[in-house]
């Protein structure tokens, strides 16, 4: 086994060797290094061909027209382009945007920026399972609403929003619908013929492609317009200027091609491993799964070990690469805003661990993780005054704590 | 985040973990922090007739630095008089453990814990005298 055991696939994935092989072919003098925008010679044409093949591969995974795919540097840029691009183009139509409280910061911070520019944003509360319901969206839509932006799959708890139902609703109301699909591509089916989504953000590095490349889907029928955010040579139909990084794009294309081909089998295998992991904790007291367990991607397990603080837990799990919703692990001293928004109390938010399983995870690794976590939780509970109090039957909610 | 060797040592081998009998008049308990903030410390001291701390125990819910701060503190207070123990400052703990700025609050909490434990045992004793 290789240490640390990687259980953080929602943060990023290693590049599949089949992908990196294709990428290195597009770098050196002997390879396909030309500028895809060069129209005057063979090297430019060859590079352009590789870029267009990749565009088709991306379009195939999500079932759309390749001309609807705009390359960006990643999902953060795609989110920025979608939100600001739509807001700036349609601002005469209205200035109201709807999103949820548990979106990725790329969406939330873009919304904050738009608020500073005079837009009004409604931040929906998810339900206790972490889902944003179509009825919550319907209730929030107003005369001046121009855009709804929601994530397909939440990055922390892995829950899946009903994009098809919400898309039907926004289309009926004549409101544009943007979906952040950074966590869903290659994990669950995305069919843009069926889903009435107008814009969708994607990234390569969470689907076994390289970091630094992503795409924004922009619907052609009915046509969606966006104001570009990066100006220059007019690449990507003027929506996003900048020389196209052939090797990155080829990497994303190949990664998405593999995803389309292997997704079904891979999900089955990963789900079995996730269930194995969860079963491994069934004999422990005071363990809580955060977020809906059924409407969830196969690879995600977000779980709280009550009375144990997340950072100290991770300290004991140094040969596991996992992440925690505890405050101490982030620059801010607030525990996860996602876990708070789905109603977890602070203790449980501080006690959470996110483990995400992927293509290269083995059963042996999962078993090792279960053993390590058992040991660590037992040790830290032995150290925890809260565990003592719980065992003595003290109701911790009734204790007057001095917040500091 | 990288931890200092001293923090790691206290985290791996915490000293004086446990619980003293709170009903004992010679035992003072300091419980500080809040679960909502991610750390709770319970520090207990047992004081002999001469006002010297003969035993100290702790339990801490919190990050590695919080555990290390309270573990170190139990080592330091043993054998000291209550007045001497009052002199321990959070800066001493932070310096000894090499805590980074974001973890200074852990040492502050430890100082609060020993102060609270001392206050508790003092008030127990004065109550005892008053009732005697």
Mean pLDDT, residues B37-57: 94
Taking CA–CA distances from A315, the nearest residue in chain B reads B64
CA A96, A102, A104 angle in degrees (round to 5)? Answer: 85
First to last CA, chain B: 54
Round to whole Å and give the CA distance between B9 and B103.
17
Task: Flag whether pLDDT at A328 surpasses 70.
Answer: no
CA distance A377 to chain B (A): 12
Question: Cβ contact (<8 Å) for A403 and B11?
Answer: no
Chain B neighbors of A308, CB-CB under 8 A: 61
The pLDDT, as a whole number, for residue A347 is 83
pLDDT: which is higher, A332 or B70: B70
User: B interface mutation test: which of A286, A326, A347, A385 has the most B CBs within 10 A?
Assistant: A385
* Sheet containing B27-34, strands listed edge to edge, beginning at the edge strand earlier in sequence: B27-34, B39-47, B53-61
Nearest to A270 by CA among A161, A362, A206: A362
The pLDDT, as a whole number, for residue A277 is 98
pLDDT band of B132, cuts 50, 70, 90: low
Mean pLDDT, residues B59-81: 95
pLDDT in tens, A107-125: 999 999 999 999 999 999 9
Q: Do domains A5-10+263-382 and A17-259 have the same CATH topology?
A: no
pLDDT band of A361, cuts 50, 70, 90: very high
pLDDT in tens, A56-99: 999 999 999 999 999 999 999 999 999 999 999 999 999 999 99
Taking CA–CA distances from A327, the nearest residue in chain B reads B38
Task: Flag whether pLDDT at A327 surpasses 70.
Answer: no
The CATH classification number of B3-123 equals 3.90.1010.10
DSSP secondary structure string for all residues of A85-116: HHHHHHTTT--EEEEETTS-HHHHHHHHHHHH
Pairing of strands B53-61, B39-47: antiparallel
Question: Cβ contact (<8 Å) for B64 and A404?
Answer: no
> Which residue in this structure is represented by tokens 């525990």?
A335
The pLDDT, as a whole number, for residue A345 is 86
**Which residues of B are annotated as catalytic?**
37, 106
User: What are the residue ranges spanned by the domains of chain A?
Assistant: 5-10+263-382, 17-259
Nearest to A107 by CA among A129, A130, A78: A78
Question: Cβ contact (<8 Å) for B62 and A312?
Answer: yes
DSSP-derived letter for residue A159 is B
Round to whole Å and give the CA distance between A291 and A128.
7
- Report ipTM (2 d.p.): 0.92
Chain B neighbors of A312, CB-CB under 8 A: 11, 62-64, 66-67
pLDDT in tens, A119-154: 999 999 999 999 999 999 999 999 999 999 999 999
Question: Cβ contact (<8 Å) for B38 and A401?
Answer: no
Chain A neighbors of B67, CB-CB under 8 A: 312, 383
Task: Flag whether pLDDT at A287 surpasses 90.
Answer: yes
Neighbour-count burial of A92, counting CB atoms closer than 10 A to its CB (0-12 exposed, 13-18 middle, 19+ buried): exposed
Chain B neighbors of A334, CB-CB under 8 A: none
The CA–CA distances, whole Å, from A166 to A93, A124, A151, A193 equal 21, 14, 11, 14
pLDDT in tens, A302-315: 999 999 998 899 99
What is the token pair recorded at B3?
A: 């931890």
Round to whole Å and give the CA distance between A235 and A230.
10
- Helix A105-116 vs helix A75-90: angle between axes, to the nearest 10 degrees? 30
Mean pLDDT, residues A175-200: 98
The pLDDT, as a whole number, for residue A333 is 56
User: A interface mutation test: which of B6, B18, B32, B38 has the most A CBs within 10 A?
Assistant: B38
Q: Is B19 on the interface with A (CB under 8 A)?
A: yes
pLDDT in tens, A253-284: 999 999 999 999 999 999 999 999 999 999 99
Q: Are B66 and B60 in contact (CB under 8 A)?
A: yes
Percent of chain A with pLDDT over 90: 90
Q: Which candidate from B17, B19, B34 shows the least CB-CB separation from A402?
A: B34
Task: Flag whether pLDDT at A404 surpasses 70.
Answer: no
> Which residue in this structure is represented by tokens 């020993």?
B114
Round to whole Å and give the CA distance between B98 and B65.
10
Q: Is A328 on the interface with B (CB under 8 A)?
A: yes
Interface of B with A in 79-98 (CB under 8 A): none
Nearest to A351 by CA among A381, A390, A321, A375: A381
The pLDDT, as a whole number, for residue A43 is 97
CATH class of A17-259: alpha beta
The pLDDT, as a whole number, for residue A334 is 67
- Neighbour-count burial for B25-63, b at 16+ CB within 10 Å, e otherwise: ebbbbbbbbbbbbbbbbbbbbbbeeeeebebbbbbbbbb
Question: Cβ contact (<8 Å) for B63 and A385?
Answer: no
Q: Lowest-pLDDT range, A296-300, A398-402, B48-52?
A: A398-402
Average pLDDT, chain A: 95
Per DSSP, what are the bridge partners of residue B116? none
Round to whole Å and give the CA distance between A199 and A217.
5
Q: Are B30 and B42 in contact (CB under 8 A)?
A: yes
CA distance A373 to chain B (A): 15
* Total Cβ atoms within 10 A of residue A263: 17
Helices (H) and strands (E) in chain B, counts: 5, 3
The CATH classification number of A5-10+263-382 equals 3.90.1150.10
Q: Is B28 on the interface with A (CB under 8 A)?
A: no
H or E, element range at B57: strand B53-61
CA distance B108 to chain A (A): 10
Mean pLDDT, residues A372-383: 96
pLDDT in tens, A157-187: 999 999 999 999 999 999 999 999 999 999 9
- Helix A246-279 vs helix A42-62: angle between axes, to the nearest 10 degrees? 30
* Total Cβ atoms within 10 A of residue A17: 8
């Amino acid at each position: 086994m290789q240490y640390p055991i990687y259980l953080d696939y929602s943060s990023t994935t290693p590049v599949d060797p089949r992908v990196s092989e294709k990428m290195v072919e597009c770098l050196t003098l002997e390879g396909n290094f030309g500028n895809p925008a060069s129209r005057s010679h063979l090297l430019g044409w060859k590079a352009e061909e590789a870029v267009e093949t990749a565009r088709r591969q991306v379009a195939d995974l999500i079932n759309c027209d390749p001309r609807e795919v705009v390359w960006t540097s990643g999902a953060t840029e795609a989110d920025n382009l979608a939100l600001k691009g739509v807001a700036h183009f349609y601002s005469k139509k209205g200035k109201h945007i709807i999103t949820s409280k548990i979106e990725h910061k790329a969406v939330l911070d873009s919304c904050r920026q738009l608020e500073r520019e005079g837009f009004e944003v409604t931040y929906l509360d998810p339900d206790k399972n972490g889902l944003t319901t179509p009825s919550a969206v319907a209730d929030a839509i107003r005369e001046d609403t121009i855009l709804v932006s929601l994530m397909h799959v939440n990055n922390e708890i892995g829950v899946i929003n009903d994009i098809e139902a919400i898309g039907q609703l926004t289309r009926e109301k004549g409101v544009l619908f943007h979906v952040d699909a950074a966590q869903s591509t290659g994990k669950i089916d995305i069919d843009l013929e069926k889903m009435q989504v107008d814009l969708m953000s994607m990234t390569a590095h969470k689907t076994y492609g390289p970091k630094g490349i992503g795409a924004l889907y922009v619907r052609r029928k009915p046509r969606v317009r966006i104001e570009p955010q990066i100006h220059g040579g007019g690449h990507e139909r003027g929506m996003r200027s900048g020389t196209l990084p052939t090797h990155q794009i080829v990497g994303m294309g190949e990664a998405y091609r593999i995803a389309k081909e292997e997704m079904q089998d891979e999900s089955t295998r990963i789900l079995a491993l996730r269930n194995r992991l969860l079963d491994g904790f069934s004999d422990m007291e005071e363990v809580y799964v955060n977020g809906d367990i059924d409407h969830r991607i196969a690879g995600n397990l977000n779980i709280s070990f009550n009375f144990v603080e997340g950072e100290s837990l991770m300290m004991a799990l140094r040969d596991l690469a996992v992440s925690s919703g505890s405050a101490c692990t982030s620059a801010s001293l607030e525990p996860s805003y996602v876990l708070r928004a789905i109603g977890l109390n602070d203790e449980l938010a501080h006690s959470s661990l996110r483990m995400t399983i992927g293509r290269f995870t083995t059963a042996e690794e999962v078993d090792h993780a279960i053993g390590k976590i058992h040991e660590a939780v037992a040790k830290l509970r032995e150290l925890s005054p809260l565990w003592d109090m719980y065992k003595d039957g003290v109701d911790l909610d009734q204790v007057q704590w001095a917040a500091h | 985040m990288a931890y200092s060797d001293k923090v790691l040592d206290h985290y791996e081998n915490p000293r004086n973990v446990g619980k003293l009998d709170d009903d004992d008049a010679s035992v003072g308990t300091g419980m500080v922090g809040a679960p909502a903030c991610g750390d709770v410390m319970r520090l207990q001291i047992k004081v002999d007739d001469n006002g010297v701390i003969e035993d100290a125990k702790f339990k801490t819910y919190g990050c590695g630095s919080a555990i290390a701060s309270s573990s170190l503190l139990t080592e330091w207070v043993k054998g000291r008089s209550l007045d001497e123990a009052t002199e321990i400052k959070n800066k001493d703990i932070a310096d000894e453990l090499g805590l980074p700025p974001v973890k200074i609050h852990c040492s502050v909490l430890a100082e609060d814990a020993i102060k609270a434990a001392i206050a508790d045992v003092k008030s127990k004793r004065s109550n005892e005298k008053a009732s005697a």
